[in-house]
Amino acid sequence: MQHKLPRRSFLKSGATAALGAGLTGQVTAAQQADRSAATVREPAREIPIVEEIDVVVCGAGPAGVAAAVAAARSGAKTRLIEVNGCLGGVWTAGLLSNIIDCGNKTGIMQEMLDELDKRNARIYGRKYDVEKTKLLLEDMCGEAGVRVRLHTRVAAAVKDDSNRLSIVLTESKSGREAYAGKVFVDATGDGDLGALAGCGFDYGRSDKDEGQPMSFIVQLVGLDLERIRPFVSGLPDEKDWGATKGRLAGEIKRGSGFDPSYAHPTLFHLNHGLFTLMANHEYHVKGFDADQLTEATMRGRREVHRMIDGLRSLGGVWKDIAICVSPERIGVRESRRIHGLYQVTGDDLVNGARFDDAVCRSTFSVDVHSTDPDTSKGLGNEGLRAKPYDIPYRALIARDVDGLLLAGRCISGDFFAHASYRVTGNAVPMGEAAGAAAALAARTNRLPQEVPWSDIQKSIEKNSKVA
């Protein structure tokens, strides 16, 4: 839903708004009787602007938290809005505690890693304790002065007459509310804010409507690491992930009688007898379709339970295996890619592109999980070998709507570029750059594309807590 209304046309007082007709959220019998067979007319209502602020960040995954912290540290009054009940997105609500492609990053990404180490949250490699990560992100936002709102979904966007995003509308237990901002950051992962504001976007392959599959991962207990070591991937002394995954796939089939939907099931050891299992693929599911998300979530849960029940039936090393927690939401690899001022392409990866406005350098491979289960249920690079390449600031600026920045996997890129830059080690510096730029744009009353990259760099360096 899009609106082009002057900001002042919204009521600023919730008490005043409550006096209006039809603002209770209920539809009267007369209104209901007047609807057509296919629609119902919702009464018009005036929404209270609950806050006017410099920067509004929507989505509090790794990119969103970094954006909010960077904006607040740069002196901007910053609001962070998140649909889940915790910060961290896929790291926390999604249970994916493995931070990929973070080794060469500085700034807030390195600060997070250092602080996680101080809190004894590192398990080994780049795997971290989910609960300690939640608390760290809340502490970082609190120390920076970020105003956090959880359990709140972005529902609509309002542009002014100059095509500049000026207000986001939200839905929560507090009802429908409006947040007015000078600059906005879409860090929803799925590009929800950009789409609501009217931005164009791409999804999946350029020649067909196929995106990468989702995964329903779980954490497990009841396993002895030493006894199941041949099935565990990523251990410090483990050299052949393919072999461990192959053995695990064989055990799942032996116990449950079927091949897992992901051909390379992966079992990671965390700590204190805790393990993570990623053995599910949900194909042909769009991250912006609630029905498809619902079906994929329930289908994934059923499959994983069948796997675990099958393994337990084998006895031996598997006799006590049990699921202790499942994700708050299914893991989404690919969703909308919002059109930006520049599109990162597969050619950029192959050529190791360099840009003067480089937000960060990605060193991750092209990681395409098969989009067609009839062809393959595994992953590969489809013949593209990526060299280390830059992600330019221009790819973080929305093309079709002014005053909107992008951060995380919803930035502007093609299918193959997205298959590399989508990992969270890149999402954090994207968010940091977007947040710093948003603060500068808000303070100087400019659009994000009018702020020189050199000024953004200076702001990031000034507010960095990493020597």
Say if 392 falls within a structural domain: yes
Residues 127, 270 within the same domain: no
In the chain, the percentage of residues whose pLDDT exceeds 70 is 92
How many domains does the chain contain in total? 2
- 242 and 172, same structural domain? no
Residues 275, 303, single domain; the answer is yes
User: Which of 42-51, 161-170, 447-456 has the weakest average pLDDT?
Assistant: 42-51
Q: What is the pLDDT of the chain when averaged over all its residues? A: 92
10 within domain boundaries:
no
Which segment of 46-60, 199-213, 233-247, 340-354 scores lowest on mean pLDDT? 233-247
What CATH number is attached to the domain comprising 442?
A: 3.50.50.60
* Same-domain check for residues 156 and 117: yes
Question: 282, 338 in Cβ contact below 8 A?
Answer: no
Q: Does 196 map to a domain? A: yes
Please report which residue ranges of 38-161 form alpha helices under DSSP H: 62-73, 107-118, 130-144
Based on the domain organization, do 281 and 338 belong to the same domain?
no
- Cα-to-chain-centroid distance, residue 357: 23
Given a cut of 70, whether residue 4 has pLDDT beyond it is: no
User: Is residue 314 predicted with pLDDT exceeding 50?
Assistant: yes
Q: Are residues 105 and 159 in the same domain?
A: yes
Same domain, 193 and 243: no
The residue segments making up the domain with residue 319 are 218-325
Cα separations in angstroms, 461 against 51, 73, 311: 29, 11, 51
pTM, full prediction: 0.92
At residue 205, the pLDDT reads 95
List b or e across 257-281, with b for residues whose CB sees 16 or more CB atoms inside 10 angstroms.
Answer: eeebbbbbbbbbbbeeebbbbbbbb
Residue 149 lies in a domain: yes
Same domain, 197 and 237: no
pLDDT of residue 19: 30
Answer yes or no: are the C-beta atoms of 362 and 387 closer than 8 Å.
Answer: no
**Claim to verify: residue 294 and residue 231 sit in the same structural domain:** yes
